Chains A and B, each alone.
Chain A
Amino acid sequence: MTAFLASRRLRRRASLAVASTVTLVALVGTLFPLFWLFVISTKLPRDAFKTPPDLLYVPDFSKYLSIWQTAGFGRAFVSSVIVVLLGVLIALAVATPAAYAIVRLRVRGGRYLRLWLLLAYATPEFLFVIPMYVLYQQAGLYDTQVGLAFIYQVFAVPFAVWLVQAFFAELPHELGDAARVDGASELQTLLRVYLPLAAPGLAATAILVGINMWNEVTIALALTFDQGRTVTVAVAGFRGYAAIRWQEMTAAAVVAVIPMVIFAGLAQRYIVKGLTFGAVK
């Protein structure tokens, strides 16, 4: 019996050791490339790719200031902010009533509606981007923030519907029924009962949708050129004609990543819920 218990304790200790090792390796593997991105952004071009790399060096942060004046990076940053704000606003305005109808009311053909959302989300971008490239040029929406924010709805609306519906589904059904007994219309119930109670979930939805839009590359690359260029496309633009300006490019990348990490941190508690779309209760 004691031998059995001892071997069991040993096995537990071994499993903890394995778990710790796996976690440690995963952490280092995940974080080192990001750390390296930062390191390259603070090294002068002649030192950046030295092998072996200098472990101790005087970091040069000058590019974090100068990038704002080069290659339209500052303008692209502002452009991205506009696209994200506008895009998130449209997505929430469209998805919230739809999610309410799906969770609380019966919608004719609702099953097909939801299948459509899944298929629209899954559609490879260039099926709709190439025609949009043509149509937007005619409509004057090519290379504009409005045009980009609008086409982003094709993935943002399904995503937002799934998130909001997961948050709405958590609220007790009796709330809506009570409001109806009091004579409230469905719109009033949505605005006065569901929206305030699901506010944190809606905020998390806005953040996740916003992060997706901020990071989007495929569509922005095809539908913008100059005025509407977003921050991710601008980062790629530091490749220049003659040589890649690594230090500027990496500094710009760090500047583009940090706000997203901060936002994700703010919504962290809800992100897991969001990413599982309510598949995990």
Chain B
Amino acid sequence: MTAAAVRRRGRTDRGGRFIVPLLVVMGLTSIYPSLFSLYMSFYDWNWGERFNFVGLANYLELLGSERFRTGLLNTFVFTISAVTIELLLGLGIALAVHRLGWGAGMVRTLLLVPLMVSGIIVSMIWKIMLDPTLGIVGYAAGLLGLPRLGFLGDPAMAMASIVMIDTWWQTAFVFIVLSAGLRALPEEPFEAAEVDGASAWQRFRYITLPLLRPVVLVVLLFRTIDCMKVFAIIFGTTGGGPLTTTESVQVQAYRIAFKQLNMSESMTMMVIFAVIVLGVVLVYQRLGAARELVR
């Protein structure tokens, strides 16, 4: 064995000690309960009523359940709409504030505030503002001659309203990360492009966007994760209604576990959903997102 190899090995062993607390804590909070859910998904367990081994019956039942499919569909519709809108809006605002120069620091601080507000408070704010008869948004729309809208109470508009609420809440995250990305861009390529007579659009399309790619991927990854897990802003506003138009998977799991006390069905549901979410995360990781997190 070479001296370098000995030293490397010594360092490897020393590194191990430093992660023991992490292994213990993460094992108990992440692995152990997840395995418990997996185990229980093979049982029919209604709290206080029955507890029987049923094999794959829960899975078969859920895969055939229209309500579960609706929940999955709602979650995907919400995630794709919210992430797309937030990315475009956040990028637009980041470019605008970047162009501004003067006062940009102050603007950034103010735009950051919604991120510090709890989801349950966000829902409360928008329930007040979007109330169909008493809300200020409906009143303002009336002044502009627009018809009275139902917002969260209208089956056709409820999901769009939830997306809008999330946009208000989380666009700041996209904005702040892209804003930092823009400020870190090198100046030389832009100067060269200007000398060569490239238009503003060409500079944006062929210099800014490619250079921003890693930062955009990080933003997309974290927004996608958060959106797929959506719970608080739905729980606090529509509770999944009207009908099931805004019922995301997590809202469904909450209802089944804590209202119907059907523990095994909710756990099976979460096992299926977690596999989907983690699959999406792995795809992102393959695309090179989270390079700083998983080298």
Looking at chain B's contact residues, the main secondary structure is helix
Inter-subunit contact B110/A217 (CB<8 Å)? no
Known: A34-B113, A36-B129, A279-B215. Is A124-B228 also a contact (CB below 8 A)? Answer: yes
Whether B125 and A94, one on each chain, are in contact in the complex, defined by CB atoms closer than 8 angstroms, is no
Contacts known (A108-B16, A215-B118, A250-B124); A279 close to B292, Cβ less than 8 A: yes
Q: Which of these, B129, B258, B271, B277, contacts A33 with CB under 8 Å? A: B129
Stretch of B52-60, B93-101, B152-160 that contacts chain A: B93-101
User: In the assembly, what is the distance between CA of A78 and CA of B214, in Å?
Assistant: 41
Chain A residues with CB below 8 A from B231, complex form? 125, 217-218
The answer on a CB contact under 8 Å between B258 and A232 is no
The interface residues of chain A, by DSSP majority, are classed as helix
Closest chain-A Cβ to B125's Cβ sits at a distance in Å of: 5
Q: A106 touching B33 by the CB < 8 A rule?
A: no
A281 to B114, CA, bound (A): 25
Kindly identify, within residues 1 to 51 of chain A, every residue whose CB is under 8 Å from any CB belonging to chain B: 11, 15-16, 18-20, 22-23, 26-27, 29-31, 33-34, 36-37, 40, 49, 51
Residues 1-52 of B at the A interface (beta carbon under 8 Å): 8, 11-12, 14-16, 18-19, 21-22, 25-26, 28-30, 33-34, 36-37, 40
Known: A126-B266, A131-B33, A217-B120. Contact between A276 and B177, CB under 8 A?
yes
Nearest-CB distance from A213 to chain B (Å)?
Answer: 11
A118 to chain B, nearest CB (A): 6
| Min CB–CB distance B147 → chain A (angstroms) | 16
Count class of interface residues, chain B:
35 or more
* B114:A127 contact, CB within 8 angstroms: no
Q: B176 to A272, Cβ gap below 8 A? A: yes
CB-CB under 8 A from A115, the residues of chain B are: 285, 294
Tell me the complex Cα distance, A40–B135, Å: 11
B112 within 8 A of A: yes
Chain B residues lying within 8 Å of A53, measured Cβ to Cβ, are 136, 139
Q: In the assembly, what is the distance between CA of A261 and CA of B113, in Å?
A: 7
Given A52-B139, A211-B116: A162 in contact with B126 (beta carbons within 8 A) = no
Do B117 and A215 touch across chains, with their CB atoms under 8 A apart?
yes
Can you report 30 residue pairs joining A to B where beta carbons are below 8 Å apart?
A: A26-B111, A30-B110, A30-B114, A36-B136, A40-B128, A52-B139, A95-B22, A98-B18, A98-B19, A101-B16, A105-B15, A106-B8, A106-B11, A108-B15, A118-B285, A120-B30, A122-B277, A123-B30, A124-B249, A124-B273, A128-B37, A131-B33, A131-B36, A134-B36, A135-B36, A215-B119, A222-B258, A257-B116, A272-B177, A279-B218
Other contacts beyond A90-B25, A98-B22: 15, CB < 8 A: A30-B168, A34-B117, A36-B129, A49-B131, A97-B18, A107-B15, A123-B277, A130-B37, A130-B253, A130-B270, A133-B258, A261-B113, A264-B115, A273-B180, A280-B177
- The 6 residue pairs across chains A and B that have the minimum distance between CB atoms: A105-B15, A101-B18, A215-B118, A49-B134, A128-B33, A22-B96
